[in-house]
Each structure stands twice: as C-alpha cells, then as structure tokens.
Structure 1
Amino acid sequence: MERTEILAEHRPPGTTLEPQRFLINERYVNLVVVSTDQFRQRPQNELIQSGVKHEECLKETQTGLEHISPNRLFRWSHQSQCVPHAVMVSGVPGIGKTTLIQKFVYDWVTGKLYQRFAFVFSFRFRDFNRLGKVSLEEMILQQYPYLESQIGNILQDPERLLFIFDGLDESIHQIDFRSSKLTHPKQGADFGDIVVSLVRQSLLKGCSVLITSRPTRLASVDTGVFQRIADIMGFLHEDRMIFFKNFFGSEELSEKAFHYVQENDTLYTFCYIPSYCWIVCTVLSMCFKAQPTNTDQLMESLPKTVTQLFVTFVANILANHNQNTGDSHTARELLRSIGWMAEYGVMNHIIVFDERYLKSFSVRNDKHLFSSFIMESGQPSNVDYTFLHLTLQEFFAALAHFIDYNADRLQKTLHAAESYNDGRAEILLRFLCGLSDSSTRFLLKSHVGELSVQAAGDVITWIQHKITKEQKSAKKNLLNTFYYLHESRNKALVSQCIGSNKEVDFSNTPLTPLDFSVLSFILQSCKETDKVNLSFSNIESEGLRKLIPALHTIKNLR
C-alpha cells in the first residue's frame, strides 16, 4: 500500500531538498479518459496532435464520447460489446498514465474498486529491457518474492488476477500481439511473449491485463486484440484550476498564475498535460518569488513562449547550482553532453537511456546538477535514465546546438527534423527557432556563457527558406511555419518573410484558438495585409477574439 499511497513530486529544481511527497488522494486530480482507436496515423508531433484533439474533445457532445473513469476500465464496453479482459490506455508523455495506474492500484488496495481481483501484479516494461528468457512465475517472484510459497495456488485462479504493464513505448522488445506462444506459467520465454500470451489468453485464460503506452508506439502494433482502448485526454479547464490551487496553496497566487497562463494561449494549450502544468507552475512560482512586488518587472520576467518557459525553468536551476558551486563551466559541459544524448533520443524515438548512452555521449552522472534534469530508476546494477519530461529532452536537444555550434551538424539536424513525417522532431524545431531570439538566449548567458550567434543566424536563414517554400504548399504546412516565427518572437523576420505577401488564405482549413493567436501575432508583425480569408476555418467567437489585436492591420477580412 505504501508504494501507491504516496504521490512524489519532483524535488524543487536545483535544490538539495528531497522530493515533495503527498497523499495521493490529496493531490490526485481527475483526468479525462475517453474511448478511442484514433492513433493509427500520426502526421503531427503527438503532443501537438493530442492538444488539438483535446480541444475537439471539449466541444464533443456527451453522446459523442464515451468517458471512462478508472473504475469502469474493466466494465462493459459498448464498443466491443463485452466485459473487457485486455485494456490499453494511451496517452502522451507526462499526461498521467503512471499516476493513473498508481491511483487505480491504491483504490484497489483500499477496497474502493475491483475487489473481484484477489491479486494485482504491476510491472514496468523498462525494467525488463535487459532481461533474458524468463517464465511468468519467475517474473512475478522477481518483483514479489514473498509470494514464493503461494505462487502455484495463486495462478490456479486466473479470473481473479490483474496484470498491469506500464510503458509499452519504453520497451526495446518487438511485441507482436497477433500471435501467442505460451500456455504454461513455468515456460521460459522473452518478456514480450509473456505479455502477448496473457493478452491473447493462451496463458492464464480468464486473467485481466492493463497496458499503458504512448500513442506513437501504438501506431505500429496490432491492437485489435484489446477489447477496450482508452485515451487519456488530460485536464479539463476546471481540473487545471484545481492543479494550480493545489500547487500554490495560496488562493491569491494560484489565481494570479492561472489568469496569466490562461491569457497566454501558447502556454495554456499544453496545460492539459499534468507534468507540463507542473513545469508552468514551477516557473511562475520562481518568477513570483524573484519579483514579489514589482509588477512591471514581474510581467517582463514571465515567459511568453514555450521556449522562454523552458529557458526560465533551466536558468533557475542553473542559478541555484552556480550559487552553490560557482561552477558555470561544469554546467555548460553537462548541458552539452546531455543535449547531444537528448537529440539522439528525439531523432530515434528513445526516451529511456542506460549507462551505455551516458558513456557514449560522455555524460557524467556524478554531479548534483545531473539529477536536476534527469531521473534515475531501477536497481543499482540495472539503472535507467529519463529526462524529467520529454519536452525538456527536446529543449536540451535544441540547446546543444547553441552551446556546441557546428554548422554542418546543425544543417543536418534541420534537414533530418523536417523530413520526419511522424512529427517526432517538431518541438525540437520550435525550440531551435525560439532560441534564435537573442533576448531569450540572454536569460541563460550568466549561467552557461555565450550561446552561439552563428547558430541563431543559421536557424533564421532556415526559417526564411522554409517560409518561401511553404507559401506555395499546403495551408497546414504554412501554418506550421507560422509557429516557428511565433516562437522566434522576431517581428522583423515576420515582416520580411510575410510582409510582401499581401494575402493570407486559410479558407477551408479548420483552425484552433491557438492557431488564431499565432496568426494574430503574424498579422500584427506584418503591420498591413490586404486580404485575409478565414472562411470555413471554424473561427467562431473565440477565434475572432484572438484576432482583435490584429484586426486594424487587415484591409479585407473574409
């Protein structure tokens, strides 16, 4: 019970304090979970795609979506017309898959739900990445050794067993759900074969299985064997408010922070992700602490873009580190090494690293600063490392090019990043564009020294070429390039790239409120546009409100 009762937040960044711990019932905020199978095609980055989908979810009627609370995951499914025994829960990084599992198990332990299960066995895919052949019995006893004398009897009643496997996307094994091989719990096999055999019921027929995964992994596996597939959509508006109140404690501070974020669509859109909410709250609390009374200085210090958010997050960690050690050189070297490791991970869909990666990229994990950015898990002989959040990994991947500039390497990254059709490097590209802004880079200067002006110039040149090319292509591609310009905050560049184009046409292109905010920035930067066509773009009142600051620059709006 102790493993599930306590919810541990990351320790305050850059400090030597222990991670903050809370009773899970005090901090857990309900997540929206809906029935879905829409992860087959992922032309966009999964965070962006899910953010758009989340906005659509909020507009759906109650009959259009099947909302699933944790206590209904193994109840009757309308889609499959049965009581499911195999359930897949999908969600982007940081959305709360692991926390949902923790709450699920805690509620079972405390007798609140699913008492038909006598035993719940919970595993993480990553813990079995370097495991050889093993039997189901051995796998259970490895994690639950105190069951050794009872394991035979326990497995005799599979209808009362639930197996939970968290993080399919973190597994290095090829897992094919189309066929199963095992029939007996004493049979030795690869870990993936055991999971598949449990799901397909050739092993322990009647047992129940719950698996979690990122959407990207599900796009490449056959999920037809699951009777329920659910997608964690994250926080609704009111849930975000609750999270802010829980984080700040103070009603005044939480309202102040939430109001600021809500007015900034760029920051607010991704707040459907709990871990992103934590980063936003952490940064704002740092800003409030640094400027408790001076309103003008406070507003100036608050992040305006996602890049500025992560720059401020990292800068505050480095400030605490340098204050304690006075060693900015070590910080720069660490950011360089973890940055190149991060980029390799982004480009190759790797979010779990082991000692081999640390050695390959000359990452030293013996420094306190290392643990401010990267989490360790596993046993001493089998340690894995993950960044606090995937987006932080993507940020460090971009930052590496400004710390350790190499023209050829940057061009290679830009070319590779835009060539991926699954959007894996989309956030990386946005961070590169964001770091091209000198005022944003300046926030890190006192902590890591100068960041490359040449890298910024190369990125700006790339944006210019990108705009020229995309103006003749699909409207969605052009819109995506507008996001690069928005992240760069470079109004002169916008005016130079877009200003000569007197017509902006997004007709018959569904746009989100955030799209309209980005478009508003572009139009304001251009100062004057002859014609803007937004017919059949789902503009509605919210979109029009976002455009108000730019309306005076438009001669003809359709």
Structure 2
Amino acid sequence: MVQKIVHDWATGKIYPHFQFVFSFKFRDLNTLNCSINLSNLIVVFYPYLRNALDYIWKNPERLLFIFDGLDEFKSKIDFADNCTEQQHKCPDPDVRCKVSDIVYSLIQHKLLPGCSVLNLQPSQFLSGFLMELLEREDSVRSVVYTFPHLTIQEFVAALAQFLTVAPRNIVKLLSEAHSATDGRFEVFLRFVAGLSSPRSARVLEEFLGPFPNETTCRVIDWVKEEIKRQAGNTWSEFGKRSLLNTLHYLFESQNPALAQQTLGSVETLSFRGLGLTPIDCAVLSHVIRWRFGLLHGTVISRIGECQIPRARRSNPASGLVEPLRLLMLPTSFSRDYEFPM
C-alpha cells in the first residue's frame, strides 16, 4: 500500500501539493537503538538528500511522512497531548532524541509544524488505497482530509468494523444503527452485511489481509436473528419497513443458505401499505428465489413494473410439480404487497 501511495505521488496522480514524501517502516526503525535526529534519520534512508536538507526543512507544509507498520514498532508512542515530557523534546530536525519521540513530535506538530504524517497499521481503515478517496482541505491552522461523497464514508465506516481485531460491540452497534427511525444508517448496514460475503470480501482481503472470522460470524448471526424477529412484526409500517431493510441486508450478504434458514418457516411476507421501489422488488425477487432454492427454470412474471418470480417446485413425496404462489401484486407500487410463501 505504501509503495502504491509513493508511486502514485511520484507519477502525479495524487498529492501534487507535496514536494517530498518520506516513507519509513517501523520494522526498519527498530534497528536504530541509539538517539538520532530527524536530519540524520533522513540521511540513513535517503542519503542522496544529504545536501538538500536545509532547503527541505524550509517548507514543512510540502512534506508528507509515512510510517508503516505501527503494530510492529517495539517502542511505545503515547499520542495523547498529556503524554510524558520525554516525548516533547524534538522541536528541531537537528535535536537528537529517540525515534519514538521524533514520530510523536511530527504528529503533534512540535517538529516541522505544517507537515503531514500518515501512520499505517492493519487495523487502521485509512490505509493505502483508501487515502485516494479523501479530499484535502487546507486551513491556516491545520490540514483536514474529508470524504468527497457520503457513500464512500459509509463504506469506509463499514470496512472499519472488519479491520478491528476484537469486535466485541459489533452486535450492539448494528442493533442501535438498525433501530434508528430516520434510516440514516441503512447504507452503512448494507455495506456491513455485504462485507460479510466471502465473495465481496475476497478482493479487499488481498490488500488488507483476512477479515476476522469472528466479525463475519457475528454479522451473519445478527442478520439471521433480525430477520426472524422482524418477520413476525409487520403489523405496523415501521415494522414492515424494518423487515424490508433487513431483507436488503440478507440480499447484500449473498447468502442463499441464510435465506433458507431464516425464512424456511415464514408463510407470508407482508408489506401492505408500503411503496416498493424497483430495487426493493429486485431484492425480494432474489430473497424468494433463495428461500425456495430456485436456481434454474424459474419463470419471471412482469407485473406492473416490479419483477418477482412465479415458480414451481417439485414435491418429493408425490413426485408432482406444485405451483408456488409467491406474489399478489397490483399495478401500482403504492398499494398492497403481500407474498404468500
């Protein structure tokens, strides 16, 4: 990831405002057991810049320092403002101190105020390629990176849940988000459910490492319990909307087996009084297919503008093919929807 950042910067794709980018691996910094100043540290890893340091230090706002592998660093760095006085002793690039003090002083802007620092570790969601999704906003006092689109922010927030080593509160977090009546967390929850799919996670795991199996299992279990709970609570509009949203999570998980487990005993999915969008109908179509294990030979009937499968299934006991009454749809999206299962 660090190599990609540096390469894209060098080729002018990202961060054109930075004149110099210095990349360090904490694994390499562990070999420096003596006190050192920042100037000498640069010379150790970038010896060809020895004679240019005075020029480089004149414009700290044009500098980006990347420290990779924070979890591998043997020394402790206290990033809090109230840390020990020992980590306040690097106000100048020529002052000798511990490597941990240099890193701390750069981050706290006690050394080279105005420079930017990026610490990377496996559990940090602002890692590598995700930095390209951020926009830089400069002000007189600080530099802030923001997301150009809310959807990207929701995705990164969901991804962060899978990059946490001990996701003890993931179920509580999901339940609280799902209980919001204004739907502000729906996109986030759909992303979380989608990332529980091995197929979806596989591509990201190539860059970020394997997702904790504990997190994936807890997300799947949460979706399963929510579907069971919501399926019998459709007497109110809020209950129907909650069930529909939960079925969206099921769809994003791409888990047919989970659909059969959770909806196997459900006789009717009722959305009477809700206005279903084409996307809602597509989700219901897939969920119903999974519920009955319909993989081949399913006939899609177009009713109004909503595509929901009409299908037949075989009865193992009689050897006959029985019709499945999966839908009763009007021609308008704003009326009654009830799906006998």
d(CA) in 1 for partners of 2:201 and 2:70?
16
Q: 1:439 deviation in Å? A: 1.7
Which of 296, 301, 304 aligns to 1:541? It is 304
- 1:393 is aligned to 153
d(CA) in 2 for partners of 1:409 and 1:471?
25
> Amino acid of the residue matched to residue 8 of structure 2?
T
> Amino acid of the residue matched to residue 508 of structure 1?
G
d(CA) in 2 for partners of 1:517 and 1:444?
26
Residues 229-267 of structure 1: CA deviation (Å, up to 9, x unaligned):
xxxxxxxxxxxxxxxxxxxxxxxxxxxxxxxxxxxxxxx
d(CA) in 2 for partners of 1:524 and 1:424?
29
Q: 1:370 deviation in Å? A: 6.2
- 1:426 is aligned to 186
Pairing 1:475–2:235 present? no
Q: 1:390 deviation in Å? A: 1.5
- Contiguous gaps of at least 5 residues in structure 1: 1-11, 21-326, 334-357, 530-538
> Amino acid of the residue matched to residue 324 of structure 2?
K
Pairing 1:488–2:248 present? no
User: After the TM superposition, which residues 219-238 of structure 1 pair with which residues of structure 2 at under 5 Å, given as runs?
Assistant: none
Q: 1:391 deviation in Å? A: 1.4
- 1:501 is aligned to 266
Q: 1:442 deviation in Å? A: 1.1
Q: 1:555 deviation in Å? A: 1.6
Specify the SS of the correspondent of 1:403. Answer: coil
Q: CA separation of 1:436/1:393 partners in 2, compared to 1, >3 Å: closer, same or farther?
A: same
Residues 14-55 of structure 1: CA deviation (Å, up to 9, x unaligned):
8345569xxxxxxxxxxxxxxxxxxxxxxxxxxxxxxxxxxx
Which of 188, 194, 199 aligns to 1:439? It is 199
Which of 4, 8, 18 aligns to 1:15? It is 8
Q: CA separation of 1:520/1:552 partners in 2, compared to 1, >3 Å: closer, same or farther?
A: farther
- When normalised by structure 1's length, the TM-score is 0.32
- 2:324 is aligned to 555
Q: 1:444 deviation in Å? A: 1.5
Specify the SS of the correspondent of 1:384. Answer: strand
Q: CA separation of 1:540/1:510 partners in 2, compared to 1, >3 Å: closer, same or farther?
A: farther
Q: 1:402 deviation in Å? A: 1.3
Q: 1:540 deviation in Å? A: 4.9
Q: CA separation of 1:374/1:528 partners in 2, compared to 1, >3 Å: closer, same or farther?
A: closer
Q: Which has the higher contact order (CA 8 A, sep 6+)?
A: 1
Residues 69-119 of structure 1: CA deviation (Å, up to 9, x unaligned):
xxxxxxxxxxxxxxxxxxxxxxxxxxxxxxxxxxxxxxxxxxxxxxxxxxx
Residues 478-526 of structure 1: CA deviation (Å, up to 9, x unaligned):
1111100000000100111012213222333221111110000001001
Q: 1:417 deviation in Å? A: 1.2
- 2:211 is aligned to 451
- 2:278 is aligned to 513
> Amino acid of the residue matched to residue 411 of structure 1?
V
Kept in 2: contact 1:331–1:447 (CA 8 A): no
- Contiguous gaps of at least 5 residues in structure 2: 15-65, 73-106, 109-115, 121-127, 234-238, 295-301, 314-322, 329-341
Q: 1:377 deviation in Å? A: 1.2
Which of 370, 375, 382 aligns to 2:135? It is 375
- 1:414 is aligned to 174
d(CA) in 2 for partners of 1:424 and 1:331?
34
Q: 1:437 deviation in Å? A: 0.8
Specify the SS of the correspondent of 1:509. Answer: coil
> Amino acid of the residue matched to residue 145 of structure 2?
Y
d(CA) in 2 for partners of 1:502 and 1:379?
59
d(CA) in 2 for partners of 1:332 and 1:493?
36
Kept in 2: contact 1:365–1:371 (CA 8 A): no
> Amino acid of the residue matched to residue 419 of structure 1?
S
d(CA) in 1 for partners of 2:270 and 2:130?
47
Query: Kindly, what percent of the aligned residue pairs are identical?
Result: 31
Kept in 2: contact 1:332–1:448 (CA 8 A): no
- When normalised by structure 2's length, the TM-score is 0.51
d(CA) in 1 for partners of 2:131 and 2:167?
30
d(CA) in 2 for partners of 1:373 and 1:497?
37
d(CA) in 1 for partners of 2:166 and 2:118?
25
Kept in 1: contact 2:278–2:305 (CA 8 A): yes
Q: 1:433 deviation in Å? A: 0.7
User: After the TM superposition, which residues 46-61 of structure 1 pair with which residues of structure 2 at under 5 Å, given as runs?
Assistant: none
d(CA) in 2 for partners of 1:364 and 1:472?
52
> Amino acid of the residue matched to residue 555 of structure 1?
L
Could you say which structure has the higher helix fraction?
1
Q: CA separation of 1:376/1:494 partners in 2, compared to 1, >3 Å: closer, same or farther?
A: same
User: After the TM superposition, which residues 62-81 of structure 1 pair with which residues of structure 2 at under 5 Å, given as runs?
Assistant: none
User: After the TM superposition, which residues 266-285 of structure 1 pair with which residues of structure 2 at under 5 Å, given as runs?
Assistant: none
Q: CA separation of 1:398/1:454 partners in 2, compared to 1, >3 Å: closer, same or farther?
A: same
Please, what is the CA RMSD of the aligned residues?
3.5
> Amino acid of the residue matched to residue 308 of structure 2?
L
Specify the SS of the correspondent of 1:421. Answer: coil
Specify the SS of the correspondent of 1:377. Answer: strand
d(CA) in 1 for partners of 2:191 and 2:287?
18
Q: 1:412 deviation in Å? A: 3.0
Which of 379, 403, 408 aligns to 2:163? It is 403
Kept in 2: contact 1:364–1:370 (CA 8 A): no
Q: 1:410 deviation in Å? A: 1.3
- 1:526 is aligned to 291
d(CA) in 1 for partners of 2:244 and 2:213?
26
Q: CA separation of 1:364/1:425 partners in 2, compared to 1, >3 Å: closer, same or farther?
A: farther
Q: CA separation of 1:330/1:517 partners in 2, compared to 1, >3 Å: closer, same or farther?
A: farther
Kept in 1: contact 2:226–2:246 (CA 8 A): yes
State which structure, 1 or 2, has the greater radius of gyration over its C-alpha atoms.
2
Q: 1:380 deviation in Å? A: 4.8
> Amino acid of the residue matched to residue 304 of structure 2?
S
- 2:44 is aligned to none
Q: CA separation of 1:425/1:331 partners in 2, compared to 1, >3 Å: closer, same or farther?
A: farther
How many positions carry a matched residue from both structures?
201
